[in-house]
Structures are given as C-alpha cells and as structure tokens.
C-alpha cells in the first residue's frame, strides 16, 4: 500500500510543478502569452485549497478509499482533458477540476498513511512526503522531455493514465483488504467539531502556513539570488535545485529516525525551523563573491526542510484520530495559502534588498516556532 501512496504523492507533486518549462509551448498552442498560462497553476491551487477540508471531513466519516478512488479517476479524466483542450478557457476549467481531484488524493494519502499508527505511521508519512518531493523534482524535466519529443499535451495525458492506474490499484486494495477502506476511529462519534479548537491544531496549521508555506516562498527565490549574485546560468540554477531536491528526499527518509529520538514531530519541526532561520538569513546576507560558502548552507536548508515537513505532518495526524482526515486536508490548504501569500511578500522583499529577505525569514520561521507550543495529545480518541 505504501508504494501506491508514494505514487499518488508523486503524481500530485509532478502535476504542481510540471508546467514551469512548458508554459511557452502551451501558450503558443492555445494562442495566449505564456505568462497567462500561470493561471493554470492558480486555478489548480485555489480549487485544491478550497475543497480539501470538505473531502478530508468526508473521508473521516466514510473512509479514505471512498474519497481517493473517485478522486484518482477524476484526476485522470481532468488531466487527459487538459491534454485535449483547444482553448485557454477550457484549459482553466480542466485545471480547476484537476485541483478538486488532487484535494481528494494527496491529503487523504497522508491521512491513510497516518492511520497505521505508531512508528509505522511515521515511516509511511515519510514515504508519501518522499513521493511528493520526488515528483516536484522530476516533473520539470519530464514535462520538458515529453514536450520536446512529442507535445506538451502528452505530459498531461501520461499523468492522466497514471492516475487511472492508481485508481485500479486502490480498488484492488479495497476488494482484497476491505478493512483499509474503512476509517476505524470515527465510529458513531460526532465529527462536526471545530477542528481549530482541538488542542495544538491551531498552532500546527499556522506552522504549515508560515513555516512550510513561507519557507517554500523564500526557497523559491534561491535561484534568483544565485543568478543575481553569482551570475549562474539558468541551467546551473536548475542543477542546483535538482541537487537540493535530492537532499530533501534524503531528509524525508531520515525523518522517522530523527523523530524517534525526540518528543514528537512537533519538536523535530521546531528544530528544523531553527536551522532554517539561521541558514536562510546567512544565505541572503552572505557576500556576493562567496559562492563556495553558500553551497553548505543550501544543502543544510534543504535537509532541514526535508526532515521538518513530514515531521509536522506526522504531528498533525496525531492531534486527533477521529478528525485526522480533515486536519491533514486543512494542513494542505494552509500550506498552499502560505505559498501563495508568502511568495508575493517574498518577491516584494527581494526587490528591496537582502536585509528585507533576512528579516522576512526571521519573521516567518519565528512565527512558526512560536505557534508550535507543546500540547497534550488526546490519544484516547
């Protein structure tokens, strides 16, 4: 099952970042400027953020696979449809549908991984996060290769077919192991509680927004900073991001081992955030000519993020067994909101100078550290 969850996360991660290198051919084919194709990304992200908590709550009541199987089928249909559209407007619609489907795949995959309980849950969450990270790393190159050798449409069709294979695999699990289709923790209990009132939930979800979403916003400008200060080419920057992505995957894999030696994923994430504060401030304030000194900083930043992200997901999954689905989905919503908001703020800060970036890093990571206060998790649920 963990391989299916890994592949689900890989597909969603690939879908989110695949558009980067193929904006121009899509725009040329659909008759719009390439920059307008970025609305494909916006439409997808907004749809995912809005619907994810509803689907998470439904999975708490009806079971994880009751959401994931139809969502995977819909993801496949929407992706193939994107590959067949003839107008920009139709493409926006199919991307909205893809975002809705993704909301029933990735957050629920995290919740299903967490349902295993104990150390096994942490390992499966790390697997899901590794799939997501690897999909994000590989998708720009895969999209570019398919667009170059075939057409940009082939990239979306391939994603769609893969999603249908995932749906078949999930259906097979549902038939062979029907207990996996049920959510064992809800019973007849009320699932309508305000999840923000669950002890620790507000802080953890805000940490997803400011710590993880904000961190991604800051990290997205690493390439631009290297180009501006070191004169690196676009190809060189791409290689840097690929290497950092691999380091993040290593961090994902190491998370269960690190967290197993600490109090919980909350403590792991706070330590990771502390590391991110130091290295990000150091990175943006380092002298322009000191390229060799920047590489270890970036590697440490990527490793800390790779460990901290699934650790925070693991901690959120433990806050309430009954409401795990909606919590994990809200976490995904908060991360996407954080990326959207903080990316804009980081862009504005970058234009005003390196000290603004350093202060923003202190603010974002500092808020996340502060809100992640220790709470007593109610395992009795």
End-to-end CA distance of the chain: 25
Residues 13, 162 within the same domain: yes
- Regarding whether 232 and 131 lie in a shared domain, the answer is no
pLDDT at 134: 84
Whether 146 and 207 map to the same domain: the answer is no
Cβ–Cβ < 8 Å for 134, 17 = no
Task: Provide the pLDDT for residue 381.
Answer: 46
145 and 282, same domain (yes or no):
no
Q: Are residues 110 and 134 in the same domain?
A: yes
Lowest-confidence pick of 37-41, 90-94, 247-251, 256-260: 37-41
Q: Distance (Å, rounded) from C-alpha 25 to C-alpha 30? A: 9
Task: Point out the domain boundary residue: 127, 146, 181.
Answer: 181
Q: Say what percent of the chain tops pLDDT 70.
A: 91
- Say whether both 323 and 210 belong to one domain: yes
pLDDT greater than 80 at residue 1:
no
Q: Residue 51 falls within a domain, yes or no?
A: yes
User: Does the pLDDT at position 226 exceed 70?
Assistant: yes
Q: What is the DSSP letter of 112?
A: H
Domain boundary among 132, 156, 181: 181
Q: Is residue 300 part of a domain?
A: yes
Is residue 62 within 8 A of residue 56, CB to CB? The reply is no
For the segment 240-263, the average pLDDT, to the nearest whole number, is 87
Domain match, 163 and 269 both: no
Q: Are 221 and 350 in contact (CB under 8 A)?
A: yes
CA 281 to CA 296: how far, in whole Å? 14
Kindly tell me if the per-residue pLDDT of 19 is higher than 90. Answer: no
| Contacts of 113 by beta carbon, 8 Å cutoff, 6+ apart | 2, 5, 121, 124, 125, 127, 128, 317
Residues 6+ apart with CB under 8 A from 97: 47, 74, 77, 78, 81
Q: Tell which of 130, 148, 181 closes a domain.
A: 181
Residue 377 in any domain: the answer is no
The total domain count for the chain is 2
Assigned domain for 215 exists: yes
Claim to verify: residue 224 and residue 176 sit in the same structural domain: no
Domain assignment present for residue 376? The answer is no
CA distances from 301 to 69, 113, 128, 197, 246 (A): 36, 26, 20, 32, 12
pTM of the model: 0.81
CATH label of the domain that carries residue 171? 1.20.1250.20
| 287: pLDDT strictly greater than 50 | yes
Range of the domain at 294: 196-371
């Amino acid at each position: 099952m963990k391989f299916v969850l890994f592949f689900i996360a890989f597909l969603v991660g690939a879908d989110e970042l695949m558009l980067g290198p193929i904006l121009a051919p899509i725009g040329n084919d659909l008759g719009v400027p390439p920059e307008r194709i970025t609305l494909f990304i916006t439409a997808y992200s907004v749809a995912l953020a809005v619907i994810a908590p509803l689907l998470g709550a439904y999975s708490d009541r009806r079971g994880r696979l009751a959401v994931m199987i139809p969502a995977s089928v819909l993801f496949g249909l929407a992706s193939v449809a994107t590959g067949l559209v003839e107008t920009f407007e139709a493409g926006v619609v199919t991307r909205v549908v893809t975002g809705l489907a993704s909301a029933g795949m990735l957050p629920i995959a995290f919740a299903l991984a967490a349902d295993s309980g104990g150390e096994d849950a942490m390992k499966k969450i790390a697997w899901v996060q590794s799939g997501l990270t690897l999909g994000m790393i590989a998708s720009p190159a895969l999209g570019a290769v398919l667009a170059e050798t075939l057409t940009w449409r082939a990239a979306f069709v391939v994603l769609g077919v893969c999603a249908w294979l995932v749906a078949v695999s999930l259906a097979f699990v549902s038939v062979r192991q029907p207990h996996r289709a049920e959510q064992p923790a809800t019973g007849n209990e009320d699932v309508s509680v305000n999840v923000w009132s669950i002890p620790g939930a507000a802080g953890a979800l805000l940490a997803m927004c400011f710590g993880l979403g904000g961190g991604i916003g800051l990290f997205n400008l690493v390439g631009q900073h290297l180009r501006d200060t070191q004169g690196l080419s676009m190809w060189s920057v791409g290689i840097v991001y690929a290497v950092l992505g691999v380091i993040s995957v290593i961090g994902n894999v190491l998370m269960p081992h690190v967290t197993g030696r600490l109090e919980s994923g909350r403590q792991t994430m706070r330590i990771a955030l502390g590391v991110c504060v130091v290295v990000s401030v150091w990175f943006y304030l380092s002298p322009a000519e000191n390229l060799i000194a920047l590489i270890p900083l970036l590697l440490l930043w990527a490793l800390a993020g790779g460990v901290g992200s699934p650790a925070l997901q693991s901690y959120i999954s433990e806050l309430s067994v009954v409401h795990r689905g909606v919590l994990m989905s809200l976490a995904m919503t908060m991360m996407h909101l954080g990326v959207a908001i903080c990316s804009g703020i980081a862009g504005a800060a970058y234009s005003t100078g390196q000290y603004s970036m350093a202060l923003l890093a202190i603010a974002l990571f500092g808020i996340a550290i502060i809100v992640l206060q220790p709470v007593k998790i109610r395992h009795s649920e």
